[in-house]
Amino acid sequence: MYVLVALVNIATRFWVMHMRKCLIAGNWKLNGDHTLCEQFAGTAFPTKPSLDIVICPPTVLLQSMHQLVKKYSNCLHLGAQDVSVEAQGAYTGEISAKMLHEAGAQYCIIGHSERRANFAETNEKVAIKMTHLLKANVSPIICVGESREAREQQQTLAVIEAQLSPIKAVLQQQAVSCAQIVIGYEPLWAVGSDRPASPEQAQQVHQHIRQLMTDVPDVDALRIIYGGSVTAHNSAALLAMPDIDGALVGGAALSIDSFLGLLPAV
């Protein structure tokens, strides 16, 4: 009897792992214009039940991109690049989670290494932003990752645990399913460089993240994607790893050809 239960549990975990849809998110950062929106919306991207494609343009382009996607595309999803830590009020220039949802965003990147480094975004602020997004029915893509110095000092896992600690606390307190979030591992030393993490290096960290989140509801449904100089040349090897569920793409997402080239064949 115990053997049968164990086999059922293993089979269930295997099935859930392979039911996680691959997610490829293109982060345009401070790039793009209406013409690029038209190019992406008008492209015949592959429509596959096992694949989610997310485009994250600058916020001012989000609403027009939403209209273009509704008109021309049946497979693209939209994401924002950031959200305010505030829900509403006298905060000139800020954009709330509710506003992003109304503009058509289904996902939103938070905790990106550039936001942490250039705008002093703390782990606690990232957790607050996640809470706002979940209330607005927008799925957060929560970025974590270590510096080159931290990796050389073998502090990678400690850094990521600290970044995820307030995230995990909120998910546990509010009993939020891991299916509602995405975690993006982006090692700072690989972002924008010609030295991306090897598939084995990325897999090790992704596996640790999944183990770290084991006591959060539906951890088997948690999608963990890799970001850090992802290109058509390395995407297949990265996506072949068992705990890598997709990619967060920067520069390669600014060209239709390069972006199409890194989409998985499955």
Annotated catalytic residues are 112, 186
Q: Could you give phi then psi for residue 56, rounded to 5 degrees?
A: -115, 85
Measured CA to CA, the distance from residue 156 to residue 142 in angstroms comes to 17
Q: CA 118 → CA 52, 65, 75, 130, distances in Å? A: 29, 27, 33, 19
Length of the chain: 266
Q: Cβ distance 168 to 216 under 8 Å?
A: yes
Nearest 10 degrees: Cα torsion 101, 104, 107, 108: -70
Closest listed residue to residue 224, CA positions, set 183, 264, 167: 183
Helix (H) or strand (E) holding 39: helix 34-41
Distance CA 174, CA 231 (A): 37
- In the block, tokens 């015949």 appear at 44
Contacts of 142 (CB under 8 A, 6+ apart): 110, 111, 126, 130, 164, 167, 181, 182, 183, 184
